[in-house]
Amino acid sequence: MTATFVGMPPFPEAARAALADTQLRSNLAHATATIRAKRAAVVAEVDDWEELRLAGAAIKDNTLLHLDEHLVALEAALTARGATVHWATDAAEACAVVARVARDHGVDEVVKVKSMVTQEIGLNEALAAEGVLAWETDLAELIVQLGDDLPSHILVPAIHRNRAEIREIFERRMKDVGRPAPDDLVDDPARLAEAARLHLREKFLRARMAVSGANFAVAETGTLVVVESEGNGRMCLTLPDVLVSVVGIEKVVPTWQDLDVFLQLLPRSSTGERMNPYTSTWTGVTPGDGPQEVHVVLLDNGRTRALADEVGRQALRCIRCSACLNVCPVYERTGGHAYGSVYPGPIGAILNPLLRGVGTDEQVDSLPYASSLCGACFEACPVRIDIPSVLVDLRAQVVDAHRAGAPKPEALAMRAAAWSLGSGARLGRLERLSGVVGRVAGRLGRRTLPGGRRALGRLPGLGGWSGARDLPAPPVESFRAWWRRTDGGRTEERA
Amino acid sequence: MRVALSVTCVNDAMFPDTGKAVVTLLRRLGVDVAFPAGQACCGQPMVNTGYLDEAVPVVRNYLETFAGYDAVVTPSGSCAGSARHQHDIVARRSGDPALVEAAAGAPPTYELSEFLVDVLGVVDVGASFPHSVTYHPTCHSLRMLGVDDRPRRLLEAVRGLRLVDLPSAEECCGFGGTFALKNADTSIAMGADKARHVRETAAEVLVAGDNSCLLHIGGMLSRQRAGVRVMHLAEVLAAQEGAA
Amino acid sequence: MSARDDVLGSVRRALAAADRSPVPVPDGHRSRPGPADVVGLFAERVADYRAVVERCSADEAAGRVAAVVEGLRVVVPPGLPWPVPGAVVDDGLTAAELDGLDAVVTGATLGIAETGTIVLTHGPGQGRRALTLVPDLHVCVVRAGDVVGDVSSAVRLLDPVLPQTWISGPSATSDIELSRVEGVHGPRTLHVIVVG
């Protein structure tokens, strides 16, 4: 399994399908507008927000640059506090560790805290293959799981669903896997949340093993941190006997005190709250409180590939807040599924290529182009990941990966453009040609733009552009030609 | 101070009136800009599509053309952003130490509103334009350069001009260079929303500091027969309609 | 080669060419001037989460607690400084047994004014983590003197070796159309009594 959904088409194709879904677009526009407003309000409360962002970025950079040392320290601290540390180079190894723990305890089900990394490695499918059922307990994850759906947002995986769709899913599916939805269920968020509470409670109370991720792992103390809202995380982290936490190696922060930065940046950026309802921290095993057997799986799965990328390395600062998704004009219109990965949106557009490498999969190669480079993501990112710069760098990597074979039409067009645009003289010659087009359009054109200029309408060969956009006819005289003819307007002024 | 105009390839070939407006405006303010004829393009179309090798000769031409001037002024936030943030990347890619040095020592490239407000220190440029105008802050001028409210301050000082707020002004119009072609459907969906917001203002004119974005938004407005004229900021600031 | 050697080897190779000089970390946020009325702000911010907040004197605390839980099946942790009439003292109740109780009363280690957060470190008077999770009403008594201004101050005072639960309002979700609903798996009602 990989971070990318199997068999997804490249972004432009997937986006076209998503854009045609008016229900999806209205669900997304409503949801992202709501969260954007909430985030803006709580960020504005913090006078030194920019300095906090700089601190968050710097702490993560310093950690990543000495990641080997911090991982060794983390392992030692965890082991000293009674946890068992496992290492996994890829998804298969990580899944095998979790499955082995389940088998050792003879469990046929586990409860899960919402975790991006376990989705990335396809843990649920891997456990199912071993006869172990994994119950998602986060409300949105439950909606996705019951709906046989795919997540479309990092924080709110079911953001593409509205309340009526959710009610229908609960009514239809809860009865197959446990306590049925109440008979009188209506599509009120509070009632839907209550249905989830009732449905999951029996699973929490009987669970013997839980699986979680971690938002942060503190190297010096071995402390893991889970940030959540509903209390499903606390249920999983507290009630079962056995806990396995799968932790990407980039989740490390060096010291306990470093958390003060991230516990301010994350909730405000993520749910748009001053603080999320629940944050749990635990350090190995605590006698008499919570799971008495604690495992931690430290996972690479492409992270060291991203770490080796000088420009892209900064993507590993990501704390999975999803602020970049919520402000992204592309994400707002296409939704998350179009990105074909558990990591959608701007961060997904860089993270997937960085984790998996470019040049082998058309879908992955399409992701760095799924952006207008507007920069809203960088502005919102609490750890200052310069996503536009990484996107541009990855585009170069995609192009470079294909330089060996026969050039694509785009490559030929770019070479031609570069040749024409590499000298004033050559550009001038091209403009004389376009001036002829302008003269013809001036005589034959029927449409005029407000302001008096001739317009070109639908044009064969310009389908991508002219399907919905008119184009002004080229001017008869370029600026360069005007400058030469009038000495920069001086002779015109005299005339 | 020797100031060169980088008119940009898009303006040179498609929007000569914008270049002329910059010349008129700056002359009125006492700056006699030069137009080095060797200029062509800043290289951004290649860089943003991933063609760094192809961008090398284009950037080399830019750096050679403008070397020796004290400042470069350009009526494009996007091209100014390219000059300031991408030329060193392309130069390093070239492996040519001379080009790296040229990029590091290049004169500063200012977007027009920055040049007017920061370098010349003017806000009232003596323009007169008795129309209702709404202003779209283009992404690169806003977020890459940080021009902030400079264009608005310039517009507010234009006599007769009535500035109408554009809803969701800071959201991208969906142009994005080759994005408009490679992801045409998404680009159009974004442009449709921008065009709708423009129509909601009922302004006569939509103004922005980048003609490429206006090409996109204006193209949509025209197709929708919205009757809204699009104009570059320079053209409004150069205008002296109805002035004595 | 073990997976450990693989991962650490990959990390070292990835960083072989990197400039590893330290990046300065700004830390001005760790010495912000605190709010003028720390306890007042705390009460206001807790209430913003739609938790119930009341303030009282030390003498009144026990009475206030008793009033809140009157008629309910209540559990308390060992070592709770305030007497709660009729309460069961937790001696390792099962999750199912906890599920059969209506309310839990605990103290807290800290309050954080800026974010309206209560921090439990699960020692005496606070109980193990499950205790404040399964019952549907959590009554939490916070001493005014334990309220700090901001997150940085709280982190500085806390011992990471102890398990912690940071609580900011009742359990909630925004998973349906991003509209916030209070009350999912954790206690659906949080009742905070600020003493002193």
Q: Would the CB atoms of A263 and C155 count as touching at under 8 Å?
A: yes
**A190 falls within a domain:** yes
Helices A22-44 and A259-270: crossing angle, nearest 10°? 140
Chain A nearest-CA distance from B128, in A, is: 17
Q: Which residues 105-134 of C are in CB contact (within 8 Å) with A?
A: 112, 114-117, 122, 128-130, 133
Question: A67: domain range?
Answer: 11-303
Q: Would the CB atoms of A55 and C96 count as touching at under 8 Å?
A: no
Q: Would the CB atoms of B57 and A422 count as touching at under 8 Å?
A: yes
Q: Does any CB of chain B come closer than 8 Å to the CB of residue A16?
A: yes
**B243 falls within a domain:** no
Residue C108 buriedness (CB in 10 A; 0-12 / 13-18 / 19+): buried
Mean pLDDT rounded to a whole number for chain B: 96
Chain A nearest-CA distance from B169, in A, is: 12
Output the CA–CA distances (angstroms, integers) from residue C123 to A233, A284, C105, in the order listed: 21, 17, 14
Residues B90 and B198 in one domain: no
Q: Would the CB atoms of A374 and B139 count as touching at under 8 Å?
A: yes
Q: Would the CB atoms of B35 and A483 count as touching at under 8 Å?
A: yes
From chain A, the residues in CB contact with C157 under 8 A are none
Q: Does any CB of chain B come closer than 8 Å to the CB of residue A452?
A: no
Residue A33 buriedness (CB in 10 A; 0-12 / 13-18 / 19+): middle
Residues B207 and B148 in one domain: yes
Q: Which residues 15-74 of C are in CB contact (within 8 Å) with A?
A: 15, 17-20, 22-30, 32, 45, 48-49
DSSP symbol at A473: P
State yes or no: pLDDT of B209 exceeds 50.
yes
> Final residue of a domain: which of A280, A303, A326?
A303
From chain A, the residues in CB contact with B174 under 8 A are 329, 372
Q: Does any CB of chain B come closer than 8 Å to the CB of residue A386?
A: no
From chain A, the residues in CB contact with B189 under 8 A are 19, 333
Best C104, C178, C182, C190 residue to mutate vs chain A (most A CBs within 10 Å): C178
Strand runs labelled E in chain B? 3-5, 71-74, 109-111, 132-135, 162-164, 205-208, 229-232
Q: Would the CB atoms of C28 and A48 count as touching at under 8 Å?
A: yes
**B125 falls within a domain:** no
**B161 falls within a domain:** yes
Q: Does any CB of chain C come closer than 8 Å to the CB of residue A183?
A: no
Q: How many domains does chain B have?
A: 2
Chain A nearest-CA distance from B77, in A, is: 12
User: Would you say B6 and B73 are in contact if contact means Cβ atoms under 8 Å apart?
Assistant: yes
User: Would you say B175 and B215 are in contact if contact means Cβ atoms under 8 Å apart?
Assistant: yes
Residues B153 and B181 in one domain: yes
User: Would you say A113 and A228 are in contact if contact means Cβ atoms under 8 Å apart?
Assistant: yes
Residues B96 and B8 in one domain: yes
**B37 falls within a domain:** yes
Q: Does any CB of chain A come closer than 8 Å to the CB of residue C177?
A: yes
Residues B152 and B89 in one domain: no
Q: Would the CB atoms of A468 and B215 count as touching at under 8 Å?
A: no
User: Would you say A401 and A395 are in contact if contact means Cβ atoms under 8 Å apart?
Assistant: no
Q: How many domains does chain A have?
A: 2
> Picking from A85-94, B106-115, C167-176, which range would have the lowest pLDDT averaged per residue?
C167-176
Residues B41 and B142 in one domain: no
Angle at A391 between CA A383 and CA B5, to 5 degrees: 105
Q: Does any CB of chain B come closer than 8 Å to the CB of residue A103?
A: no
Closest residue in C to A157 (Cα–Cα): C175
Average pLDDT of C47-61? Answer: 97
Residues B41 and B136 in one domain: no
* ipTM score over 0.95, yes or no: yes
Render each residue's pLDDT in chain A as its tens digit; 495 residues.
Answer: 345 677 788 999 999 999 999 988 998 999 999 999 999 999 999 999 999 999 999 999 999 999 999 999 999 999 999 999 999 999 999 999 999 999 999 999 999 999 999 999 999 999 999 999 999 999 999 999 999 999 999 999 999 999 999 999 999 999 999 999 999 999 999 999 999 999 999 999 999 999 999 999 999 999 999 999 999 999 999 999 999 999 999 999 999 999 999 999 999 999 999 999 999 999 999 999 999 999 999 999 999 999 999 999 999 999 999 999 999 999 999 999 999 999 999 999 999 999 999 999 999 999 999 999 999 999 999 999 999 999 999 999 999 999 998 888 999 999 999 999 999 999 999 999 999 988 988 888 778 888 888 888 777 666 678 888 999 999 999 999 999 999 999 997 666
Give the neighbours of chain A: at least 3 Cβ pairs within 8 Å: B, C
**A404 falls within a domain:** no
Q: What was the pLDDT predicted at A2?
A: 47
Q: What was the pLDDT predicted at A462?
A: 67
Q: Would the CB atoms of A427 and B9 count as touching at under 8 Å?
A: yes
Which of B61, B65, B185 is closest, CB to CB, to A16? B185
Chain C nearest-CA distance from A208, in A, is: 12
Best C174, C189, C190 residue to mutate vs chain A (most A CBs within 10 Å): C174
Q: Would the CB atoms of A375 and B140 count as touching at under 8 Å?
A: yes
pLDDT digits (tens, 9 = 90+) for B165-175: 999 999 999 99
Residues B59 and B109 in one domain: yes
Instruction: Report residue C78's pLDDT band, with 50, 70 and 90 as the boundaries.
Output: very high
**B126 falls within a domain:** no
Closest residue in C to A299 (Cα–Cα): C7
Residues B82 and B168 in one domain: no
Q: What is the dihedral of CA C73, C76, C82, C85, to 10 degrees?
A: 30
Q: Does any CB of chain A come closer than 8 Å to the CB of residue B160?
A: no
Residue C17 buriedness (CB in 10 A; 0-12 / 13-18 / 19+): exposed
CATH number, domain at A272?
A: 3.40.50.10420
Which sequence spans correspond to the domains of chain C? 36-195
DSSP symbol at B128: B
Count of CB pairs separated by less than 8 Å, A with B: 226
CATH number, domain at B209?
A: 3.40.50
Q: Would the CB atoms of A232 and C151 count as touching at under 8 Å?
A: no
Q: What was the pLDDT predicted at A495?
A: 62
Count of CB pairs separated by less than 8 Å, A with C: 251
Q: What span, in angstroms and rounded, lies between the C-alpha atoms of C48 and A483? A: 64
Per the CATH hierarchy, to which homologous superfamily does domain C36-195 belong?
NagB/RpiA/CoA transferase-like (3.40.50.10420)
Which of B50, B175, B222 is closest, CB to CB, to A396? B50
Q: Sign (positive/negative) of CA torsion B215, B219, B220, B226? A: positive
- For residue B193, give the H/E element and its range: helix B184-201
**B84 falls within a domain:** yes
User: Would you say A133 and A124 are in contact if contact means Cβ atoms under 8 Å apart?
Assistant: no
Closest residue in C to A28 (Cα–Cα): C177
**A366 falls within a domain:** no
Best A26, A258, A304, A305 residue to mutate vs chain C (most C CBs within 10 Å): A304
Residue whose pair of structure tokens reads 């102890």 in the numeric block? C162
Residues B198 and B164 in one domain: yes
> Final residue of a domain: which of A274, A303, A332?
A303
Best A311, A374, A395 residue to mutate vs chain B (most B CBs within 10 Å): A374
Closest CA to B240 of B150, B100, B130, B117: B130
Question: B159: domain range?
Answer: 132-238
Instruction: Give me the sheet containing B3-5, strands edge to edge.
Output: B3-5, B71-74, B109-111
